[in-house]
Structures are given as structure tokens and as C-alpha cells.
Structure 1
Amino acid sequence: MKITLDQDKCVASGQCVMAAPDVFDQRDEDGIAVLLTSTPGDTDADDVHHAAAVCPAVAIRVQD
């Protein structure tokens, strides 16, 4: 699994952080999402797919 996050599209809603806190975080200064890892383990797969699905800006892409 590989994740890409388009920070230019991110609207800082925090949905990804709530869905997959081991994979996503937010910058303190503006709330824009950041990837903690672009290749998470299999145990995070469901959470990552959920994070991509709930992202209001469609800023997260997941390649399995």
C-alpha cells in the first residue's frame, strides 16, 4: 500500500487524523494534513481506506 496526500487540496478538516491517527497528523500552524508514513503496515489498511473515503477534499490517494 502506498499513500499520497495532496496538501494543496487539503482543507484541514482533520477527518484523516481521526480515521487513521498512526498514519496522518496535522501541522500546528494551519491544520493541513501530513503523512507520518507513506507506506503503512497491513494493520492500518482499513483505517487508511476509511480516511481517504471521508476526506472532504479528496486529497488522499491509496494504491494497494
Structure 2
Amino acid sequence: MDYQNVDGFIGAIVAEGRATLHELRTVYSLEDAFLMWETIAIPRYNEYLAMQHSQQKNQR
């Protein structure tokens, strides 16, 4: 399900507890937000790759 009133980029940061919406508006820069998003996206992508590798290994 997608966020209805918040961009997915911002929603991911807030949902993961990296920052509040207020902090993103008042404290952090756009670069900070990209760095926070990266700390969410990279581990998720690595988990996806590990799952894909495991599934391929089990199909052999």
C-alpha cells in the first residue's frame, strides 16, 4: 500500500524512525534525507539479493 499524503521517499524515512516529518522540514537538508534513505534502501536491497540467491540455490 502506498502513502496517500506523503511521498514514498519521505514516508520510508519517517516509517523507519530515522526522522520525524517535522525534523525533515526544519533540521535536515535534502542531502541528509538522501543519506537516511540510503541507510534504509541498501540493507533492503541486500536482503532481496540474499533471498533471490537462496531461492535459486534451493531450486537446484
Q: TM-score, normalised by structure 1?
A: 0.30
Structure number with bigger Rg? 2
Q: TM-score, normalised by structure 2?
A: 0.31
Instruction: Flag the structure with more relative contact order, 1 or 2, with Cα contacts below 8 A and sequence separation at least 6.
Output: 1
Higher helix share: 2
Higher strand share: 1
